[in-house]
Homo-oligomer: A and B are copies of this chain.
Amino acid sequence: MIRLVVVDDHPIVRGGLRDTFADIEDIVVVGEAGDGAEGIERAKLLAADVVLMDLRMPGMDGVAATAALRKSAPSARVLILTTFDSESDVLPAIEAGAIGYLLKDALPDELMRAVRAAARGESVLAPSVTQHLMGQVRRPRAGTLTDREKEVLQLVANGSSNREAATALFIGEASIKTHLQHIYDKLGVRDRASAVAEGYRRRLLT
């Protein structure tokens, strides 16, 4: 039996979901909430297996609630159910720890399969969401170069060879190479020249 908590600021939506799961044998809606903070409370109190979470809500939004829930109740899987699939919605939600991301135009059947999958710890994503992820999820997020990495990139931009950068930072050449590899991974490039270009585009360099 999967214990489900529904978090959405629209009563209509909550009601619709309650109905949808009403006569499903292995899923029971044990609680509801109208915003993120309340949702966290209910999920913990009621030992939810899966939390159906809307993103755009007054007060604490879905992303913040998801992140908080991942910390305070890791066993509760958060399944995003929302209207929007823009990059600016999807990425933060995934990063916050959502296990799945569905759109509200999903069929009831898809929704139930997704809930069961989430309960098992599997990910279900709406097709359009998958697109966004393919290219993006790999890069640990723009602008997340560490301070050290930024230093290295700046030196490279200023014309330092690996050896010179190593001398400047009082570390070994091998470390510079490692930092650069990480920089390449994070920026999605393959060489120092385009890393520098990306650095400027993302305003990491001066």
Which of A's residues lie within 8 Å of B, judged by CB? 156-159, 161, 189-197, 200, 205
CB pair B200–A158 under 8 Å, yes or no, is no
The quantity of this chain's copies bound in the complex is 2
A87 to chain B, nearest CB (A): 15
Which 10 A-B residue pairings sit nearest by Cβ, starting from the closest?
Answer: A159-B194, A157-B197, A200-B200, A192-B193, A196-B196, A193-B193, A193-B196, A196-B197, A156-B193, A159-B189
Q: How far is the CA of A192 from the CA of B205 in the complex (A)?
A: 16
Give the dominant DSSP class at A's interface: helix
CB pair A159–B191 under 8 Å, yes or no, is yes
Which chain B residue has the least Cβ–Cβ distance from A158?
Answer: B194
Q: How far is the CA of A197 from the CA of B158 in the complex (A)?
A: 7
A6 to chain B, nearest CB (A): 41
Interface centre among A189, A191, A192, A194 (most CB of B within 10 A): A194
Residues of B within 8 A of A193 (CB): 156-157, 159, 192-193, 195-196
In-complex Cβ contact of A194 among B157, B189, B191 (8 A)? B157
Interface centre among A158, A200, A205 (most CB of B within 10 A): A200
In the assembled complex, 18 residue pairs joining A and B whose CB atoms fall closer than 8 Å, in A order, are A156-B193, A156-B194, A157-B193, A157-B194, A157-B196, A157-B197, A158-B194, A159-B191, A159-B194, A159-B197, A161-B191, A192-B193, A193-B193, A193-B195, A196-B196, A196-B200, A197-B200, A200-B205
A176 to chain B, nearest CB (A): 13
Q: How far is the CA of A190 from the CA of B192 in the complex (A)?
A: 13
Q: How far is the CA of A26 from the CA of B197 in the complex (A)?
A: 58
Residues of B within 8 A of A194 (CB): 156-159, 196
In-complex Cβ contact of A190 among B156, B157, B159, B200 (8 A)? B159
A179 to chain B, nearest CB (A): 14
Q: How far is the CA of A196 from the CA of B192 in the complex (A)?
A: 10
